[in-house]
Amino acid sequence: MAETEAINLKQIVCREFDINELWKKYICHPSHRNIIWSWAIRKPEIMIEDKCLRFRVSGRYHKGHVYIVLNGMDLFDVYYTSIHGIIKNESKDVYLEDLIHILDDVIETK
């Protein structure tokens, strides 16, 4: 995707999933606490009828929003945008067990 392209959730969102479970039991799991604190994560919200998780980060390499959606292969697609919704980066077909480390690579560590 071009860096100037704005995110259009209606085009990319694919499947419903339990966003609260992803947030509470996986992303905010105590074993990930130090990692997500380094992102200065805030304002998590559910968007588009339980099909997208969005939160804001202020990491070393990415400052803006992160959108997580479940695609048709039951893998996650992650979009990293500016606060104005311009797509800066994306990670496609991410397995749950790799999600935190891939997010951290883009947001904080490269």
pLDDT band at 2 (very low <50, low <70, confident <90, very high): very low
Percent of the chain exceeding pLDDT 90 equals 71
The reply to whether 43 falls in a domain is yes
The reply to whether 2 falls in a domain is no
Rounded distance, CA 64 to CA 23, Å?
18
Q: Is 39 exposed, middle or buried (0-12, 13-18, 19+ CB in 10 A)?
A: buried
The amino acid at 63 = K
Rounded distance, CA 68 to CA 110, Å?
19
The reply to whether 29 falls in a domain is yes
Residue 17: CB atoms within 10 Å: 17
pLDDT greater than 90 at residue 96: yes
The reply to whether 1 falls in a domain is no
Global confidence as pTM: 0.90
Domain span including residue 90: 9-109
Rounded distance, CA 105 to CA 21, Å?
23
Domain count within the chain = 1
The reply to whether 57 falls in a domain is yes
